[in-house]
Amino acid sequence: MAGTTLSWIHTADGILGARRTYSLLQPEYKPRVATASIQELTAKIVPFFEVIEGRTYIHNGHELKAEEVALPLLYHAYPGRVAYDELVKAVKRHGIAQSSAYAGISKLKNFVDANDDGWVLRGGGRQKAEVLLAELKSKTTTTSQSE
C-alpha cells in the first residue's frame, strides 16, 4: 500500500511540475485543472477484493445480489477455476442465504465453463464482470468522495 501511495504522490508532483511549466508557456492556464486532477488521483481508493487466508471478499458484497458477488469472485480467480461448492461458500460469506447463493450462481451458467475441476468464466462472463466492476467502481468512487 505504501508503494501505491508513493506512486500517487509522485504522479501528483509531476502534475504540479507540468502545471508550473505549462503556466509559463500559457498564461491563461487555470491552476484549478491541475488541482482537480490531483484530487481525483489522490481520492480514497477502496480495493474491490480482499483476500484473507485464501478467502476472497468483495468490498460491500453484503449489499449485492448473489450473482453480483459470484461473478466478480470468478473474475478475480480467472484464469483459475473455482469449485462450485467453494463458490457457494464464498457467496454465503457475504451474508447471502444458501438458497439465494444457489439461485444466483445458477444464473451464471451461460457465462462459465464448468467441469469436475470447477467453474471458470468464459469471454462473455469476463465482459459482464468488467461492466459490473466498472459500475461498482463508479458507485464506490462517488461514495468515497462524499465522505
Segment 83-142, tens digit of pLDDT: 999 999 999 999 999 999 999 999 999 999 999 999 999 999 999 999 998 888 777 655
Q: Round to whole Å and give the CA distance between 121 and 124.
A: 8
- Parts of the chain belonging to CATH 1.10.10.10: 49-146
Q: Are 95 and 78 in contact (CB under 8 A)?
A: no
pLDDT at 44: 47
pLDDT at 10: 59
For residue 46, which of 36, 56, 35, 60 has the smallest C-alpha distance?
A: 60
Q: Round to whole Å and give the CA distance between 145 and 43.
A: 7
Burial of 36 (0-12, 13-18, 19+ CB in 10 A): exposed
Segment 38-74, tens digit of pLDDT: 666 655 444 578 888 988 888 887 888 999 999 999 9
Q: What is the pTM of this model?
A: 0.64
Q: What fold does the segment set 49-146 form as a domain? A: Arc Repressor Mutant, subunit A (1.10.10)
What percent of the chain is predicted at pLDDT more than 90? 46
pLDDT at 73: 94
